[in-house]
Amino acid sequence: MNLFSVEGKTVVVTGGSRGIGKMIATGFVEAGATVYISSRKAPEVEKTAAELGCVAVPADLSTGAGVDTLFEAVSGAETKVDVLVNNAGATWGAPLEEYPEHAFDKLWGINVKGVFYLTTRFLPLLRAAAAPDDPARVINIGSIDGLRVPGIENYAYSAAKAGVHMLTRHLAHQLATESITVNAIAPGPFDSKMMAFALDDPGIRSSIAANVPLGRIGRPEDMAGTAIYLASRAGSYLTGAVIPVDGGSSTR
């Protein structure tokens, strides 16, 4: 049964106070990992950390200072990081001819640049954990909106998430010789702040679920299970992959 074990591993989850990040953090905590979660909002991340039994680090990862804050907090307590989950992100929707330029700047900065610079900042701790038979892991959270054209006008978001997927492949190629794997999860519809505008409405929720081939919205264990697989011995030979966790939505 240790094929899927992550017990004793040190895990950092950005955007871990709610939504998909909280689902992943919960899974790792329950599986016996030491977990650090970060978020911009201190009260929110501290509340979630107290609830889960993990460590809160308030940090705005869209800035270099925020990246340094998270790294220094973790490196001050740990000698290595086994798993880095880059989940922090943002979305923006607006009609085509009204779509603001600053939306592209914001989403590129958080969803793509943030992933790149946080990963490079954490390389010393990832390298300290890396071994040929048990690589260090980077897990980036993309989106099925980066795999297929979404039904809503979120131009900067879909473009940025496609960027996350290619960045994942590029980093995987670069870091493979150092025994660090880099993979991405591309979620479909899950209960999160980004999807609340739709899923909080029972009628729209039912419609979205009906359009998922498996007929339902994603559950926390669907997301946590995929992340744990990627972080465990079972996923040690996988790198550069983008895994849709979407009930088959991206096949349409």
Rg over CA atoms, the chain: 17
Domain range enclosing 115: 2-251
Element (H, E) at 154: none
Cα gap 206→199, rounded to integer Å: 8
Higher pLDDT, 191 or 9: 9
Is residue 157 part of the annotated active site? The answer reads yes
Query: Helix, strand, or coil here: 243?
Result: strand
Domain CATH for 183: 3.40.50.720
pTM (two decimals): 0.94
Residues 48 and 13: beta-carbon distance below 8 Å: no
pLDDT surpasses 90 at 25: yes
* pLDDT of 198: 67
Neighbours of 217 (CB within 10 A): 18
Question: Is the CA virtual torsion 26, 223, 43, 6 positive or negative?
Answer: positive
* Number of structural domains the chain divides into: 1
Q: How confident is the model at residue 195 (pLDDT cuts 50, 70, 90)?
A: low
Phi-psi region at 15: left, alpha or beta (left = phi > 0; alpha = psi -120 to 50): left
* pLDDT of 197: 67
Q: Looking at 36, 155, 157, 229, which residue is catalytic?
A: 157
**What's the mean pLDDT when you consider all of the chain?**
94
Residues 92 and 145: beta-carbon distance below 8 Å: no
Phi, psi of 194 (to 5 degrees): -65, -30
Query: Among candidates 107, 117, 138, 242, which has minimal Cα distance to 188?
Result: 242
* pLDDT of 150: 87
Q: What is the mean pLDDT of residues 11-25?
A: 96
* pLDDT of 91: 81
Residues 11 and 136: beta-carbon distance below 8 Å: no
Instruction: Give the tens place of pLDDT for each residue, 123-144.
Output: 999 999 999 999 999 999 999 9
Q: Distance of alpha carbon 112 from its chain centroid, rounded?
A: 12
